[in-house]
Amino acid sequence: MYGLHLKEHYARLHRSCRIMRIALPHTIDELVGITVDLLRKCGYREDAYIRPIAYKSSPLIGVRLHDLEDGFTVFAIPFGTYLDIDRGISCAVSSWRRTDDNAI
């Protein structure tokens, strides 16, 4: 089983959660372990799509982000054939640049 850059993806999720004031209940290594355990339990023998979700789980609705409960879940589904590799693929390079997190 191979996970593509799991630690790096979860490190980025941790950084994004800090900006949104979401406290993840697990370390990066724990998140990697949870993901590997999930994939093993699912028993996939093919590519799989993994979606970790960190969110505000409080039933309160408002504009503030502090003092609200946080939640986390992760699920996986078989990815299947994403591209028709028999026909080939094409790509393009975009000039779009990400806005700095501090500018928002």
- pLDDT for residue 89 is more than 90: no
Domains of the chain by range and CATH?
Answer: 6-103 (3.30.470.10)
Contacts of 39 (CB under 8 A, 6+ apart): 1, 3, 48, 50, 76
Query: Whose structure tokens read 């393009």?
Result: 92
CB 10 within 8 A of CB 52: yes
Q: What is the pLDDT of residues 13-69, one digit of tens each?
A: 999 999 888 999 999 999 999 999 999 999 988 889 999 999 999 888 788 878 889
